[in-house]
């Protein structure tokens, strides 16, 4: 589904990604874990076209998209839930969901919204609430549901636990498990390695713009601290 090879990205003269490679299979859940500043957000932004790749390649189903505009990447079936959630605060929950499904045929929108409410029941109780008054956990679920509205083949989620209380993180973890169970390919970026490894089949560890380890989640879990310190 997704192949990233030797990806380099820069902000001006500062190189943020130093030849990163990874892949996500169809229907697979993959995590990118690492400390703050590791380059995880830049990686997702480069895949989705929000940051222009300096070199290397990004392929969706074999099609190279590393220098493709973000809206064209979205049309290929990639949804990006950004760091900070980017909820449209003045709009209702329902309108946020409609924004996510703007490319669906009109006859499908209501049915897809009902699927999202079934996946995230709390949203069904808050459809007429403004996005800005939701709790952090509710906003994260709304952001994920909005990303899923377009029926993506790959859903990328950046730092889903950021700024949430530990109790709420558990709710988000449950939500991610439900998303994975739908068969959508998922690439999740997280500082909270425990959460990410619990959701993902495989994981990549990033430090300072480099992938320093990769493997099955259960294989990485035992020596993750040692990898970070190294």
The model's pTM: 0.90
pLDDT of residue 166: 82
Q: Tell the residue number behind the tokens 């999740």, with chain if given.
A: 188
CB-based contact 53:67 (threshold 8 Å): yes
- 215 pLDDT above the threshold of 60: yes
Residue 133: which pLDDT band, with cuts at 50, 70 and 90? Answer: very high
Please give the DSSP secondary-structure letter assigned to residue 92. B
Residues 21-43 have a mean pLDDT of: 93
Counting residues of the chain whose pLDDT is more than 90, the rounded percentage is: 57
CB-based contact 119:178 (threshold 8 Å): yes
* Strands (E) located in the chain: 2-11, 14-24, 29-33, 53-60, 63-64, 78-81, 154-158, 185-190, 202-207, 210-216
In terms of phi and psi (left: phi > 0; alpha: psi -120 to 50; beta: otherwise), the region of 106 is alpha
The contacts of residue 26 (CB under 8 Å, 6+ apart) are: 1, 153, 185
Handedness of CA 151, 155, 160, 166 (dihedral sign): positive
Residue 225: which pLDDT band, with cuts at 50, 70 and 90? Answer: low
Q: How many CB atoms lie within 10 A of CB 70?
A: 16
CATH 3.90.1210.10 fits 2-86+151-229, yes or no: no
CB-based contact 204:17 (threshold 8 Å): no
Rounded Cα distance, 4 and 50, in Å = 15
Residue 51: which pLDDT band, with cuts at 50, 70 and 90? Answer: very high
Residues 62-80 have a mean pLDDT of: 89
- Written as six digits, the tokens of 50 are 């929000």
């Amino acid at each position: 589904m997704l192949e990233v090879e030797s990806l380099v990205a820069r902000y001006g003269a500062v190189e943020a990604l130093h030849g990163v490679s990874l892949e996500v299979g169809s229907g697979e859940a993959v995590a990118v874990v690492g400390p703050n500043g590791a380059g995880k957000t830049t990686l997702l932004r480069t895949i989705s076209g929000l940051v222009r790749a300096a070199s290397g390649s990004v392929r969706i189903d074999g099609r190279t998209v590393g220098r493709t505009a973000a809206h064209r990447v979205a049309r290929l079936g990639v949804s990006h839930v950004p760091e900070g959630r980017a909820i449209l605060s003045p709009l209702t929950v329902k309108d946020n969901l409609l924004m996510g499904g703007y490319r669906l045929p009109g006859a499908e929108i209501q049915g897809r919204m009902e699927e999202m409410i079934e996946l995230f029941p709390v949203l069904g109780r808050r459809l007429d609430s403004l996005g800005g008054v939701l709790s952090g956990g509710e906003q994260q679920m709304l952001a994920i549901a909005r990303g899923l509205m377009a029926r993506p083949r790959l859903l990328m989620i950046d730092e889903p636990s950021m700024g949430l209380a530990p109790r709420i993180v558990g709710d988000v973890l449950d939500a991610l498990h439900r998303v994975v169970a739908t068969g959508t390919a998922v690439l999740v970026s997280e500082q909270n390695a425990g959460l990410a490894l619990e959701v993902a089949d495989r994981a990549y560890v990033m430090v300072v713009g480099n992938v320093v380890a990769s493997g099955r989640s259960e294989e990485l879990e035992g020596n993750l601290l040692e990898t970070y310190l190294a």
